[in-house]
Amino acid sequence: MSEVLIRLEGISKSFGKVRANSNVSLEIVGGRVLALLGENGAGKSTLMSILAGQLRPDSGTVSARGQVLHLTSPEEAIAAGIGMVYQHFKLVEAMTVAENVFLGHRQMFLNRRRMEVEVEALASRFGMSVKPSAVIRDLSMGERQQVEILKLLYRRSEVLIFDEPTAVLTPAEAENLFATMRLMLAQGKGIVFISHKLEEVMSVADDIAILRRGEIVDTVPVKDVSSTADLAERMVGRKVLLEVEKKSVEIRQQVLSLDGLGWSEQDGGVSFELRQGEILGIVGVAGNGQKELVETVCGMCKPHSGTVRILGREWGEFFRTAADDPENTLAWIAEDRQGLATCPSLDLLDNFLLTTRRSFSRGPGKFFLFREEARKRAEYLLKTFDVRPPDLSAAGWQLSGGNLQKMVLAREFYRKPRLIVAEQPTQGLDISAMEEVWKLLLKAREAAGILLVTGDLTEALTLSDRIGVMFDGRLLACFPVEDTVNLAAVPQMMAGICEECAA
């Protein structure tokens, strides 16, 4: 059972001046979960991309059951029994589950019925509920992830690598994933698990390897770790308290008000008000209208019914004139970091300019852009927000997830917004970056009203002044965070089992 399936020895990898992995050695053992931990940019994804055949190391070796592998492509890694579930799924949306599983499979005749039966059997063997005939675009994140896993299991992967698999899952979906992982372990498969959620790591992992600036600084069996605080300290190299001080702030003018907002015929009736000095935390299981709410407030889609007032102006008027008014800025920290918040193929300076261009432009119609001025400002901001590397010529895609998020915050806060929409602001961030972002949001609330949309209840409770629960396109309740009676009912409201939910 406890056979070493994969051995990494002396792996190093640099990107230009950045040393992403430095002399890393690790073992992946059958029947055990190895958690790979480290701050944003520590080199976790790079190391696993090497193992999955996506990247080639500068030096070092990967061997499987004692045999050295020379991986030059993901196909070769898969043939060697190594499969990776990426954070951004690689599925064909218009195809069915079974078709995706069989995609790329070289077989002359494929019988749809037989494909579906095979996929069904595989799914049920590993405790997965996804239907083989369902089309990907109709599936939840958790179900899509199951398809990615099925693809690997179908190709007989012995070692499965999960890069932050729970970042996009609801708590219930995460539990399902863990159950599937246990079934894999029982079959002798080895698992590598990357996550920033330390409680999760403590409950799922058997062994923990910690990377810091590309080097392994610690490898411990989980039974030798006393608490998540102990783990955080091993990872960051100092005590991390995750306790942020929440000062009371004077509540001032209204920055956002919704009155009976609806997005379609069916849903609707979301009403609330947000004032400067407040954080309103909207919680709920993803897919209950949070996305539509955010997109309406941020001007991406039109209200279907009801009214929305932003910074004292009616919705349409605000978006017609907002761009010209530096006093009235709305900042949006979008959940989709790579698709909406940034343009990964552009360098960091251009990414910084995406929403700040007007501040550095002069002349008629703000025609002339003062790039040098922007560069100096952006350079300073990247250092203050501890973006690693603080290199404006790096492309967005070269940054690790957490560092890209810090870049977005640096940019959005630069305009001194009065209304901030923060959507899953700490998703994928390591514990010290999370602490920094929390502090930044609390500080920003002195000058702004903040609409915080989050799937993380701890985050909502730590930051919010009021909590709103969304279910089925409606706001079920909105109450001060001190209201313990309502607070206790939040999990039921989120799951749709309460009096208000039935209405």
Ligand X SMILES: Nc1ncnc2c1ncn2[C@@H]1O[C@H](COP(=O)(O)OP(=O)(O)OP(=O)(O)O)[C@@H](O)[C@H]1O
Interface contacts to Mg ion, rule CB under 5 A: 45
Please identify, using beta-carbon distances, which residue of 88 and 106 lies nearer to ligand X.
Answer: 88
For ligand X, the closer CB: 87 or 254: 87
Closest contact distance (angstroms) between CB of 186 and ligand X is: 29
**Residue number with CB closer to ligand X (174 or 493):** 174
- Closer to ligand X at the Cβ: 11 or 469? 11
CA torsion 204-208-211-217 (nearest 10°) is 160
Q: For residue 282, how many other CB atoms are within 10 A of its CB? A: 26
Burial class (CB in 10 A: 0-12, 13-18, 19+), 364: exposed
- Does 235 participate in binding ligand X (rule CB under 6 A)? no
CB of 215 to ligand X, least distance (A): 12
- Minimum CB separation of residue 345 from ligand X in Å reads 12
Closer residue to ligand X in complex, CB, 64/194: 194
Binding at 449: pick from Mg ion, ligand X, none (beta carbon under 5-8 Å per type): none
Kindly state whether residue 42 participates in binding ligand X, applying the rule CB under 6 A.
yes
Task: Give me the residue label for tokens 């406890």.
Answer: 2
Shortest distance (Å) from residue 439 CB to Mg ion:
23
What is the total count of residues that contact ligand X (CB under 6 A)?
19
40 or 146, CB closer to ligand X? 40
Query: What are the CA-CA distances from residue 432 to residues 112, 242, 401, 436, 443 (Å)?
Result: 49, 8, 14, 6, 17
Decide: 138 and 144 in contact? Cβ < 8 Å.
Answer: no
In angstroms, the CA 131 to CA 152 distance is: 17
Phi first, then psi, for residue 419 (nearest 5°) are -130, 125
**Strand (E) positions, 276-423?**
279-283, 305-310, 313-314, 330-333, 361-362, 368-369, 419-423
Q: Nearest approach, Cβ of 15 to ligand X (angstroms)?
A: 3
Segment holding 5, helix H or strand E? strand 4-15
User: Of these partners, Mg ion, ligand X, none, which one is at the site of residue 402 (CB under 5 to 8 Å by kind)?
Assistant: ligand X
142 scored as a contact of ligand X (CB under 6 A): no
Q: Per CB under 6 A, does 355 bind ligand X?
A: no
Q: Which partner from the list ligand X, Mg ion, none does 57 bind, CB cut-off 5 to 8 Å by kind?
A: none
Distance CA 210, CA 415 (A): 37
The letter for the amino acid at 466 is: R
Tell me if 154 sits within 8 A of 103, measured CB to CB: no
Positions 377 through 416 that interact with ligand X (CB under 6 A): 388-389, 398-402
> Is 15 one of the binding residues for ligand X (CB under 6 A)?
yes
101 binds ligand X, rule: CB under 6 A: no
Rule CB under 6 A: say whether 20 interacts with ligand X: yes
Interface contacts to ligand X, rule CB under 6 A:
15, 18, 20, 38, 40-46, 388-389, 398-402, 430
